Structure 1
């Protein structure tokens, strides 16, 4: 049971530095666990923790992440902004050989830690931090990259350490 999740970003960043070795050992430990079982724990923890954290108090993902943009995302956002998909792409997107990304970090649409185009936000934005998806173990490296930035990830991972008995193994502190 999660009493009160940690939301202080400075404290989370400091703890992330302090727990770097612990987290490396936890990744190795978790990779030996059954993936479906890990997913079920992560999904339950996410359903409990995410509603307790107000993303608009943070907004770090919008200030720090590179966002992939699909054609569908570009069309949806263009419609929201009242411009053509081509105009949207010219103004807001950098196209690579196989993908498109937003051409600004922080995001063009972030104001006061809120998305000014929330209803039309990109798929990656809608799904971040991806803790509702299957195959958590397959995304563990990428998830842990965001551990120091995202209070939801931080708290889910810390509770996951407890629930998988990582701290009882002598590997954890």
Structure 2
């Protein structure tokens, strides 16, 4: 897919652009949701690949620095075993329960994020981390508030959102 001239500098100052476009992006995502993703699901995998051909997560780690994944029971079991800890000790050491009754990390940045932006538990990371930033799945448009929020945290989400706006012309 050719990159259009206006898209060539899309990631330049993306954080400021994402903040400036919050209202328009929220409206666009709401339109996508009302359309039930019609036409979007076919575009997402390709746009996801395109975004990650331009973005190196290790240069950013915005997600690990500012938001927490949910730690579900299988995640807790797998990670505590990997760390050689009892599940209760793992929970007491690293997790808290949030307003949605989910286990999340106690503090930001994530305690497993290294100074080099590598994840210390990458091979056993929570499912939310594995699936983030959802730019290749139906969650991208089915959960507009989360996508809207993520567009100011993750350059890939911002990139895919802007490319969709260009391609879909809603």
TM-score range, shorter chain: 0.7 to 0.9
Q: Does 1:66 align with 2:95?
A: no
Task: Check whether the contact 2:44–2:137 (CA below 8 A) recurs between aligned residues.
Answer: no
* Residue aligning to 2:133: 129
Q: String of CA shifts for 1:123-161, please: whole Å, max 9, x gaps.
A: 111110012222532112210111111010010001001
Q: In structure 2, list runs of 5 or more residues that go unmatched.
A: none
In the superposition, the TM-score normalised over structure 1's length comes to 0.83
Mapped partners of 2:118, 2:9: distance in 1: 21
Task: Check whether the contact 2:96–2:105 (CA below 8 A) recurs between aligned residues.
Answer: yes
Mapped partners of 1:45, 1:58: distance in 2: 19
Mapped partners of 2:56, 2:88: distance in 1: 34
Task: Check whether the contact 1:74–1:85 (CA below 8 A) recurs between aligned residues.
Answer: yes
Q: String of CA shifts for 1:52-81, please: whole Å, max 9, x gaps.
A: 311000011000002210111111111111
* Residue aligning to 1:17: 19
Q: Within 5 A, what are the aligned runs for 1:36-115? A: 36-95=38-97, 98-111=101-114, 112-115=116-119
Cα distance change, pair 135–24 in 1 and its aligned pair in 2 (3 A): closer
* Count of residue pairs the alignment pairs up: 164
Task: Check whether the contact 1:62–1:106 (CA below 8 A) recurs between aligned residues.
Answer: yes
Counterpart of 1:94 in 2: which secondary structure? Answer: strand
Cα distance change, pair 108–165 in 1 and its aligned pair in 2 (3 A): same
- Per-residue deviation at 1:89? 1.1
Counterpart of 1:41 in 2: which secondary structure? Answer: helix
